[in-house]
């Protein structure tokens, strides 16, 4: 993917691969709701998702298998999104969302593995990877809730009769951060169980992984501060 590498390399040199992934996710989360509320074209939404897909692929480019698998999942997800607008089939959005969820989970696994493997140092890449992993958790749960609503309608109750992907993304991150505004609430038992599980995931992530990074940073500081014999 030489063109992607050429396009992303200047940015990557300043913030790193995981910083690029973090930036693309935050940009999508901030810009997408404003575009939709002002009648923005869905094509712009696809461009934002394309940026996340490219950043995710770029982040795992060093591992050939992970690189090829992420390329395959991203291609199917984007193709499904585009074809669903033309065909109008009810199954295509489901398949597109399924591949998108698998893509985010695949990237999450790789990013989380990188953070967990860095036991003795805390660098810019490690910090950005930890942040992007947290954001990827929220994105992955977004599709879990959306699939539950597709299979069991009225699993969630919100301000509007029909909830969309943006609504589930909002609910996912509110649940992950254990804010709980209460404007969207789980109604069925499976919805409640999944919501509790995501809330626990968010708390355990902060308690275990972030504390691990703090411990690694303290150990790194002591090693660098230790006088040489």
Radius of gyration of the chain (CA): 19
Q: At what angle do helices 124-151 and 165-176 cross, to 10 degrees?
A: 120
* Mean pLDDT in residue range 141-150: 92
Is the pLDDT at 213 greater than 90? The verdict is no
Q: pLDDT-derived band of residue 124, with 50, 70 and 90 as boundaries?
A: confident
pLDDT of residue 222: 64
CATH of domain 2-225: 1.10.287.70
pLDDT of residue 223: 62
Backbone angles phi, psi at 185, to 5 degrees: -130, 145
Q: pLDDT-derived band of residue 154, with 50, 70 and 90 as boundaries?
A: very high
Instruction: Give the DSSP letter of residue 182.
Output: S
Backbone angles phi, psi at 157, to 5 degrees: -120, 130
Taking the C-alpha atoms of 31, 35, 40 and 45 in order, what is their torsion angle to the nearest 10 degrees? 30
* Mean pLDDT in residue range 9-26: 79
Is the pLDDT at 6 greater than 60? The verdict is no
Query: Do residues 18 and 125 touch, judged by C-beta distance below 8 A?
Result: yes
pLDDT of residue 91: 66
* Mean pLDDT in residue range 120-149: 89
pLDDT of residue 88: 58
Cα–Cα distance, 104 to 99 (Å, whole number): 9
**H or E, element range at 186:** strand 185-186
pLDDT tens digits, one per residue of 74-109:
988 888 777 766 665 666 677 888 888 999 999 999
Q: Which residues contact 25 (CB under 8 A, 6 or more apart)?
A: 52, 55, 132, 135, 136, 139
Give residue 213's Cα distance to chain centre: 20
pLDDT tens digits, one per residue of 156-203:
999 888 888 889 999 999 999 989 888 999 999 999 999 999 999 999
Query: Nearest-CA neighbor of 156 among 189, 180, 200?
Result: 189
User: Rounded to two decimals, what is the model's pTM?
Assistant: 0.84
Query: Do residues 215 and 115 touch, judged by C-beta distance below 8 A?
Result: no
Is the pLDDT at 229 greater than 60? The verdict is no
List Cα–Cα distances, 136 to 63, 104, 127, 147, in angstroms: 19, 6, 14, 17
pLDDT of residue 189: 96
Is the pLDDT at 2 greater than 60? The verdict is no
pLDDT of residue 207: 86
List Cα–Cα distances, 58 to 27, 28, 66, 206, 228, in angstroms: 17, 17, 10, 26, 39
Is the pLDDT at 134 greater than 70? The verdict is yes
pLDDT of residue 97: 83
Question: With pLDDT > 90 as the criterion, what percentage of the chain qualifies?
Answer: 36
* Mean pLDDT in residue range 35-43: 61
* Mean pLDDT in residue range 41-66: 84
């Amino acid at each position: 993917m030489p063109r992607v590498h050429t396009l992303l390399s200047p940015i990557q040199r300043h913030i790193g691969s995981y910083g690029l992934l973090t930036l693309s996710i935050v940009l999508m989360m901030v810009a997408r709701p404003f575009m939709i509320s002002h009648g923005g074209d869905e094509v712009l939404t696809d461009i934002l998702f394309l940026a996340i897909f490219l950043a995710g692929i770029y982040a795992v480019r060093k591992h050939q298998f992970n690189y090829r698998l992420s390329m395959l999942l991203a291609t199917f997800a984007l193709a499904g999104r585009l074809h669903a607008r033309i065909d109008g089939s009810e199954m295509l959005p489901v398949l597109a969302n399924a591949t998108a969820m698998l893509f985010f989970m695949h990237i999450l696994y790789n990013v989380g593995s990188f953070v967990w493997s860095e036991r003795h140092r805390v660098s810019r890449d490690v910090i950005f990877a930890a942040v992007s992993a947290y954001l990827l958790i929220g994105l992955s749960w977004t599709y879990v809730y959306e699939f539950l609503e597709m299979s069991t309608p009225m699993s969630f109750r919100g301000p509007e009769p029909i909830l969309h992907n943006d609504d589930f993304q909002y609910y996912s991150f509110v649940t992950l951060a254990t804010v709980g505004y209460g404007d969207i609430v789980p109604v069925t038992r499976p919805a409640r169980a999944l919501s509790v599980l995501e809330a626990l995931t968010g708390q355990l992530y902060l308690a275990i992984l972030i504390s691990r990074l703090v411990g690694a940073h303290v150990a790194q500081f002591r090693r660098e501060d230790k006088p040489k014999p």
